[in-house]
Amino acid sequence: MTTPAPDTPVDTLAIAVAQLNPTVGDVAGNLDLARRTRESAREAGADLVVFTELFIAGYPPEDLVLKPAFQKACREAIETLAAETVDGPAVLIGAPWVEEERLYNSVLLLENGGISAVRHKVDLPNYGVFDEKRVFAPGPLPGPIPFKGVRLGVPVCEDIWGADVVECLAETGAEILLVPNGSPYRRTVYAERENIAVARVVESHLPLLYVNQVGGQDELVFDGASFALNADRTLALQFPGFMDRVRLSKWQRFENGWKCLGANLADRIEGDEADYAACVLGLRDYVNKNRFPGVVLGLSGGIDSALCAAMAVDALGPERVHCIMLPYRYTSADSLSDAAAVAQALGVRYDTVPIASGVEGIEAALAPLFEGTQRDVTEENLQSRVRGALLMSVSNKFGAMVVTTGNKSEMSTGYATLYGDMNGGYNPIKDLYKTQVVRLSRLRNRWKPADALGPDGVVMPDSLIDKPPTAELRENQKDEDSLPPYAVLDAILERLVEREEPVTSLIADGFDAATVKRVERLLHIAEYKRRQAAPGVKVTGRNFGRDRRYPITNRFREG
């Protein structure tokens, strides 16, 4: 087969789509992953391999990207990879790039042994979880990149969320839009991405290939779910979510433009299934990328810890999960049997460590200071703090990370104990309200992600899922003694936290005024606890942490 001259337009292109899981800061590892991917793409007959946004650095690199040594390492990695493209497929890859003392979020075309083109991200997002204006300079409106006689438009991620960049590319002759992304998961993101992509296709009359990274990075989970749309808006390519994949897409030039051939459409999970898969992937990557040998968690016999245990086993396998029951005098027989049933179903190591001697020893030590006072929440919290100290001790001794198991309803209202049940390195359900925890528990008993390492079938008994929630810190305690019913509480919280709706709007819609005002007060005064909480997977539109940054000292209240 005769290779056309560089300025001779080709009529077909084979583009390998690299939906992969880079690690922030692991420049050498990301380079090695790019090399191996390029080699497999060469064997498949690819002309071009498209990687995701800032692939060499990992995304998002946050302030790490401001380190000159890191910038230098990324540049050297790109130059090394470019030198290897003398033959075989070209590479389109993201990296931080310094030009004239300005740092850009860039995409580079590597071919023929060098760097043939560089384009900089124009629209730097600065909302929600994104903070790119802090570290990057915006690039100029780009023109297309010539490749084998084809003009490739390369808007980077946020560049397609407005019309200007794609409009400029179309007006300057782009024929195909290749979009490298670092787009994190949230429950509504699929519809939002598709609507944006369709809008750009309609406006430009160009086909669009959307390449998204996959994997967990601290609180963020990137779901992949890459896709291609033809100029007539038909879906030509769909990758699965939450899985590494490299696939070859075939493109052909027709009289009316380029088209992605075939309909290689993978099933894409959504809704509760996607939320569960995100929690599993986020936990897996946090543990593995930070090189923990496994995890340890307190298995209380309640639904939150049971769901976290199931997620941990699905993420890491049962041999890397250690569950410990930490009973006290208020731990019910039902909790003991339910916890044991979960541990047996999941196949994990399960130990029982009674905490009576620890709690009573601390109470004895404090007795002279507390003389003449009534027992209250102080003594109740000792149970949680002894449990937290024991779990952290196991972690220190054996290296396993403590999984903390509080849900978003508890984190919202402060229904959690600092230096107790909040102890831990990571929380897979931090962004799930209690009602979502219940739904996902029922879901896990009938379904699990395709790459889950846990057992099929029921892993949580119905008795555990159905019983009234309780912290079991005193006799006959129920969560609803202190909080509104979770169905009511979560509905209020969703509107206060996710939507920032005014209290008056909730009251006008029929919520009890005193309850709404009480929940709003609890939400505000618990900010100091949330600042000290472990990171956890983001699945909603507004998580505590990167999305929502409220002051701790804050006297504002509505009404």
Q: What is the pLDDT of residues 411-428, one digit of tens each?
A: 999 988 999 999 999 999
pLDDT at 523: 93
Contact 538, 129 (CB under 8 A): yes
Q: What percent of the chain is modeled with pLDDT above 70?
A: 97
Tokens of 466: 């159905």
Of 157, 279, 308, 323, the active-site residue reads 157
DSSP-derived secondary structure for 18-52: EE----TT-HHHHHHHHHHHHHHHHHHT-SEEE--
335-357 tens-digit pLDDT: 999 999 999 999 999 999 999 99
Query: Which run of H or of E encompasses 314?
Result: helix 303-316
pLDDT score, position 267: 87
- Round to whole Å and give the CA distance between 490 and 496: 10
SS3 state at 427: strand
In DSSP terms, 401 is beta-bridged to 295
Please tell me the predicted confidence (pLDDT) of residue 38: 97
**What pLDDT sits at residue 553?**
84
Residue (of 392, 431, 212, 469) closest to 308 by Cα position: 431
Which pLDDT does position 6 carry in this prediction? 52
For residue 334, the one-letter residue type is D
Selecting among 74, 121, 529, 538, the annotated active-site residue is 121
pLDDT confidence of residue 559 = 65
At residue 408, what is the residue type?
K
Active-site residue (options: 53, 132, 158, 273) = 53
Average pLDDT over residues 34-54: 97
pLDDT at 5: 46
Instruction: Convert 360-426 into a string of H (helix), E (strand) and C (coil).
Output: HHHHHHHHHHHCCCCCCHHHHHHHHHHHHHHHHHHHHHHCCEEECCCCHHHHHHCCCCCCCCCCCCE
HEC profile of 77-109 = HHHHHHHCCCCCCEEEEEEEEEECCEEEEEEEE
**How confident is the model at residue 283, as a pLDDT?**
98
Q: In terms of residues, how long is the chain?
A: 559
Rounded Cα–Cα distance for residues 315 and 289 (Å):
13
Q: How far apart are CA 490 and CA 114, in angstroms?
A: 55
Confidence label for 149 from pLDDT (cuts 50, 70 and 90) = very high
Cα–Cα distance for residue pair 374/507, rounded to 1 Å: 37
53 classed as catalytic: yes
C-alpha 405/C-alpha 191 separation (Å) is 30
CB atoms within 10 A of CB 531: 12
Taken in order 28, 30, 31, 33, the sign of the CA dihedral is positive
Q: Are 128 and 159 in contact (CB under 8 A)?
A: no
What is the pLDDT at residue 27? 97
Percent of the chain with pLDDT over 90: 85
Sign of dihedral through CA atoms 424, 427, 429, 432?
positive
Express each pLDDT in 254-289 by its tens digit.
988 999 998 788 888 999 999 999 999 999 999 999
Q: Are 536 and 430 in contact (CB under 8 A)?
A: yes
The strands making up 349-352's β-sheet, listed across from edge to edge, are 349-352, 321-325, 295-298, 401-402
Question: Tell me, what's the pLDDT at 462?
Answer: 94
What distance in Å separates the CA atoms of residue 187 and residue 246, rounded to the nearest whole number? 24
57-113: pLDDT as tens digits: 999 999 999 999 999 999 999 999 999 999 989 999 999 999 999 999 999 999 999
Query: For all residues of the chain together, what is the average pLDDT?
Result: 93
The span from the CA of 23 to the CA of 25, in Å, is: 6
CA 274, CA 277: separation in Å to the nearest integer?
Answer: 5
Q: Residue 519: in which H helix or E strand, if any?
A: helix 513-525
* Mean local confidence (pLDDT), 535-550: 88
According to the model, what pLDDT value does residue 2 have?
Answer: 38
Query: Strands 264-265 and 114-120: what pairing?
Result: unpaired
pLDDT at 135 exceeding the cut of 50:
yes
* 159-212 pLDDT per residue, tens: 999 999 999 999 999 999 999 999 999 999 999 999 999 999 999 999 999 999
Query: CA 159, 182, 405: angle at the middle one, nearest 5?
Result: 135
Alpha carbons 351 and 340: distance in angstroms, whole number? 9
Judged by average pLDDT, the poorest of 37-51, 152-166, 252-266 is 252-266
pLDDT over 60 at 332, yes or no: yes
* Per-residue confidence band for 3, with pLDDT thresholds at 50, 70 and 90: very low
pLDDT at 472 over 70: no
Task: Yes or no: say if 544 and 429 are a contact pair by the CB < 8 Å rule.
Answer: no
One-letter identity of residue 557:
R
pLDDT at 169: 97
Q: In which band, very low, low, confident or very high, does the pLDDT at 475 lie, cut at 50, 70 and 90?
A: confident
CB atoms inside a 10 Å sphere around CB 285: 21
| 157 annotated active-site | yes
Q: pLDDT class for 231, splitting at 50, 70, 90?
A: very high
**73-87, pLDDT tens digit by residue?**
999 999 999 999 999
* Burial status of residue 400 (CB atoms within 10 A of its CB: 0-12, 13-18, 19 or more): buried
| Structure tokens that stand for 417 in this block | 């104990």
3-state secondary structure (DSSP) of residue 4: coil
Four-residue CA torsion sign, 339, 345, 346, 352? positive
